[in-house]
Structure formats: C-alpha cells, structure tokens
Chain A
Amino acid sequence: MENISIPNKKNKIPLLEVKQLSLSFPQYKKGFEESYIQVIRDFELTIYPGEIVAVVGSSGSGKSLLADSILGILPENAAINGTLLFKGVALTKNRQEQLRGKAISLIPQSVKALDPLMKTGRQVQGIIRDKKDKKRIQEEAFLKLGLAPGTGDKYPHELSGGMARRVLIASAMVSEAQLIIADEPTPGLDELAWEETLSNLKQLSEGNRGIMFITHDIQAALKIADKIAVFYAGETLEIANKEDFSGKGEVLRHPYTKALWLALPENDFKVLKGNQPESEDVFPGCVFEPRCPIATGLCKTNKPDSTMINNGITRCFYA
C-alpha cells in the first residue's frame, strides 16, 4: 500500500484529483435519433488527506452521479470522460473495483440503502475485513456514534431516520477507507442529530482521511468543510475556502456563490430568482447567465474557463 505521511500539505500528493470530468447519458428522442444529455461538465476537484471538501449544489445538479463516477458504479449506459486520480495513480475501472468499499467508502444519500431484510449489525459487519473481531468492531462503532446496544440486532425499518443515518456512517467508520464520500448525510435530521452527524464526519476526517461532503446545505458545509466547491448544473462554478464566506461575501469570486451566501437567514435572506437549468438544456455560454445579475452579452455566447483567483478557482468572466 502506498503510504503518505508528509505533514506539509503543500507537498502532499492529493488523495483524490478529478480533472475535466464529464458525464453524459444517451437519450432517445423522436425519430430514433440518438442524442446525449450532459449531467456533469468539466468538473474539477482536489482533496488532500485530512481535508473535508464540500460539494454544494441544489437538487438534480449531478452530485450523486459524481459520487458514482468516483466509485465506478455508474449505470452502464453512462459515458464518462476526464481524469480521475487516487493518490496520484489513475483510477481505472479495475482499480475502482479493488478500492471501493476498502480505500474509498460511500455514505449513501438515502436510508433506503440498508437492505430491508438484514439486521443492521450484520450489514455493517459485512464490510469489516478482520473476520474474527467484526462483531466487536461493529458494536464499538455503534457505541461511538451513540447508537444504543442492541441496535445491531434490529432491522432497518425498526430504526428512526437519524439512527439509520448513523448506521450508514458506522459503515464508513469501520472501513479502512482513506477517502469517504458522504452523499447528503444531513437532510431530514433535527437540530441535534444534524450537529451530531456533522461532528461525526469531522471525527472521521481526523485519522488523516479525506472527506468529500456532498450536500445542498451550505450551512452544514461551512460548519465542517475546509474547502467548498459550488456545483451548479453539472459544473463547478467556484472552489472557495471556508474563510471566504464572510461579511457580504466580498471575497467570494462567483455571483452564484455570493447569491447562496446572501440567501442564508443570518445574512440578507435574499433568495435568487429562477431555477437551475435542466440537464437537457444546452448553453453556448455561461450556465449561470439566465440568472446572473451582472451578465453581459459575452456571457451569453462564450463559456468562461476555470481560473485561479486568490487561492480559489472560479468560472466567471468578471470575477
């Protein structure tokens, strides 16, 4: 196994690098003419060990498919392009198969991810490679996450939503994963469970693990993430540092990120009008142009490239 323990972050090899990732699905239209709908475009992301990177985007922006792309569990008809590197080595289909569930672990979005006909304890034990100690390891993980003893003997339908989520988190905890992809672990939780889940994630990152924290909850992202990637209609519009979210959002680079920040209750509560475009819609220019308050003619016809600004990345002509 490759082992990275260089303390200086600048010299570290990234745990995960995603470069120019695109994903599309064939779609049959009238007249049997085949066309593609693009769900992810030129996606960029880098995660270092010990880092939590949030991927923030609204519903349907392609976040779960991003997770599937990294794990290699996309539907068969998906066409994927771009570069995926894990610890500097290309993530081929074969390598994905070897690594998933081991070095790369998923915390799935839905509590329906638990097999309804199997006791939760057994489902978590199935991941543990140490066959002799798996029961003890599972029970310890449950205890650490505040699940009462005996929870492992229950079936998923006997648990509350919050408990089921913790079971899902436990399955990442007992794995030997260096990279954990948490797909929306917080929706539908009450205040307390929300706080707990976030601190559990934070706890997970402490063993030098990298975490990709997929969410549409920008507050949750700001609470624990080091970096925040803003995902919109399949594109990364901005990758900002946590500190950039302050004041009236002057340091933020992209108009969409600013709008997200200003929409928070503790700020102006100013909600941006309109909706994210559908994945069928094709834009020759900037994807955000229809809703952008500072758009110009250039934005309508030309696509802005990702540029590095002030230690962050953005995709806007006027950042």
Chain B
Amino acid sequence: MGLLVAISIFSFILISNSPVDPVQSYIGAEISRISPEQRTNIEEYWGLHRSKPEQYFLWSKAVFQGNLGESLIYRKPVTDIIWERFSASILLMGIAWVLSGVFGLILGILAGMNEGSILDRIIKSYSFILASTPAFWFGLLVLMVFAAWLNWFPVGLAAPAGSLRGEVSLADTFKHLFLPVLTLSIGGVASIALHTREKMIEVLSSEFIRFARAKGLSGMRLFWRHGLRNISLPAISLHFASFGELFGGAVLTEQVFSYPGLGQAVVRAGLGGDIPLLLGITLFSVVFIFVGNFMADLLYVVIDPRMKTKQAHD
C-alpha cells in the first residue's frame, strides 16, 4: 500500500511536470479554434489552476472512490478502458505465462540432467540468446517470417478487421493470438530454463540425491520422488515474480502486433498525452505486479514446509 502511494505520487509528479498539455490533448487539432476564455474555463473545470499537491489530493481522493477519471482520447471512463483492454491482455499474457513456465521448466530439467552434453549446450545457448533478445525485435522477426512470408497467421489485431464482437470464432481468436503469445513467451522460457537448469544441477549433486541413489532409486523414479518438487518450487515462485517483465513484454508485443490490449493502450495514452488513462494504467500495473510478487511469496509459504514452520516460530 505504501508502495502504491509512493508510485502514484512519483508518476503524478513526473507526468504533471512533463510538457504534455492536457487541454490540447483533449481538444486535439482544433485547439487553435477555441478562445482563451474557453481554455481557462476548461482548465478551471479540471482544477488545473490549483496547486500541484492539491491536484494530487483531489485525484487520489477520486481514485479511492474507484473513479480513475475519464480518458481524454477514448472519451470513456478509464476504469472501463482498463477492464476492456485487460481482458484482452490477460488472455495473451496468461497463455504466454503458462506456456513459458511449462516449457522453461522442461528445457531446464533436460539441460540440467544432461549437463555438459550437446543438448545442454543447445538449450543453454538458445536461452542466453533469447534472454538478451528484445521482445519487439523478436516480434518483428516472427511477423516477417510467419505472417508476411509464409502467410500462416494474421499480421495483427485480435480478430479479423471489420468483424463484430461476438462474431469472432475460436479459431480466429487462436490465430490472432498465436504470434503474440509466441513472442511474449519466448523471453520467459529463457529465464525459467536457465534458472531451472542451475537448480537441477544443484539438486543432482546434493546429498539427498546421492543418498536416494544409494537407496537404489534411479531414473524417473528418482526424479519424481526427490527431484521435481525441489526444482519446481523455486521455478514457480520465480515465474510469479516475473509479472513485471511479463507486463513490460506485453506492452512491446501488443504494439508490434497492433493487439488491442492494455499495453497498446498505455502507449497511445503516453503519446496522446492522456494523463488520466496513463496514471490509471500505471496504478493498475503496479497492483498487477504486486499481486504476482505476493503470489510468489504466498506459494512458498503454502508449498515449502520450511517456510511454514519458520512463520509459526516468528
């Protein structure tokens, strides 16, 4: 909560000191047509003549009442836009998140189990390269290959252009999601795979695996009994804590694929000087990332018996 207040103040200061003129954003190109009196009226109506702390106070009071204000470019309440956009984004982010977690875990386990082998080296270099590849660059590459050259998937949007809501088939949704999901999950796969690989190597050289082998366990039985739990726990937690990167990746990916999600909205809000929307989405993303981190901590407490008793002792 303290974090939320701090971030809201910080972004408020940043934005209100930026050269963005909200009146101009609102009126658009017709700004030259309004008289100075009209302009003062608008400013007064919005409270722009008040001091900055006063403005912040009024804004945060409204936020507490669940009112994030009205978007200047969409001419709709900010909360409506966030929900509408977020439901599109969550589909993209959710699928990408699950896929990158599952594949990252599998690749990491394979690499760690065969440390030093060719397979390991391939997975490792693949992950290192992907971890350092910006999402938008990869997105463009994917677009060029699969959409422009091979024509397998649409170039952008969440549904065929011109189709109405409710008319979009599942196959169409899937087709439009495929490339953005691919782009977005790629980065996540790399970090989970590398992390899991390290953990796998550590677990394999641990005393309890040596003992389990001395007890006659080997192969898959050894892995199921003593390996998987010890490896997946830190991986799942790390994956939840990566909500921030997921969100950042979504902003770029949605931009590349003109996917109408929250990420795209934030870019338009920023470019269009839509202060209420920008602040609203900032706050929302902070909450989103916080939820991820909170889940990561919570999960540790729920799954890891070592944490449970530690808490009981505190």
Contact = CB atoms under 8 A, between A and B. Distances in A.
Interface string B97-128: 00000000000000000000000000000000
A155 B306 contact: yes
Interface in B143-172: none
Interface in A102-138: 102, 105-106, 108-110, 112-118, 126-127
Interface in A155-180: 155, 157-158, 171
A73 B210 contact: yes
Contact of A106 (B214, B218, B230, B309): B214
B305 A71 contact: no
Nearest to A127: B215
Nearest to B212: A115
Given A157-B306, A158-B309, A116 B215 contact: no
Contacts of B305: 116-117, 155, 157
A19 interface: no
Interface in B298-314: 304-306, 309
B214 A115 contact: no
A60 interface: no
| Residue among B214, B216, B233 with most chain A CB within 10 A | B214
Given A117-B230, A126-B225, A157-B306, A112 B214 contact: no
A112 B206 contact: yes
A160 to B, nearest CB: 14
Of A106, A109, A116, chain B has the most CB atoms within 10 Å of the CB of A116
B85 interface: no
B211 interface: yes
Contacts of B39: none
Contacts of A115: 208, 212, 225-226, 230
A56 B265 CA distance: 72
Nearest to A181: B214
Interface in B274-314: 304-306, 309
Given A100-B216, A117-B304, A126-B215, A112 B208 contact: yes
A114 B213 CA distance: 12
Interface string A210-237: 0000000000000000000000000000
A314 B285 CA distance: 75
B207 A110 contact: yes
A285 interface: no
A96 to B, nearest CB: 10
Contacts of A171: 215
Interface in B195-219: 206-208, 210-218
B61 interface: no
B52 interface: no
B208 A116 contact: yes
Interface residues of A, number: 25
B50 interface: no
B229 interface: yes
A103 to B, nearest CB: 10
Contacts of B210: 68, 73, 108, 113
Q: How many interface residues does chain B have, given as a range?
A: 20 to 34
A97 interface: yes
Contacts of B304: 117
Contacts of A108: 207, 210-211, 214
Contact of A117 (B213, B214, B216, B233): B233
Nearest to A175: B215
A118 B208 CA distance: 11
Contacts of B208: 112-116
Q: Is the interface of A mostly helix, strand, loop or mixed?
A: loop
A100 B214 contact: yes
A102 B229 contact: no
Contact of A116 (B214, B216, B225, B230): B230
A102 B217 CA distance: 11
B213 A73 contact: yes
A113 B233 contact: no
A110 B207 CA distance: 7
A97 B206 contact: no
A185 B54 CA distance: 71
A110 B205 CA distance: 13
Contact of A157 (B211, B214, B216, B309): B309
A249 interface: no
A198 B93 CA distance: 59
A158 B218 CA distance: 27
Contacts of B218: 97
A100 B217 CA distance: 9
B215 A118 contact: no
B174 to A, nearest CB: 37
A101 B221 CA distance: 14
The CB with the most chain A CB atoms within 10 A, among B208, B230, B306, is that of: B208
Contacts of A157: 305-306, 309
Q: Which 3 A-B pairs have the closest CB atoms?
A: A101-B216, A113-B211, A101-B215
Given A101-B217, A108-B211, A117-B229, 11 more contacts: A100-B216, A105-B215, A112-B206, A113-B208, A113-B211, A115-B208, A115-B226, A118-B225, A118-B226, A157-B309, A171-B215
6 contacts: A71-B213, A100-B215, A112-B207, A115-B230, A116-B208, A116-B305
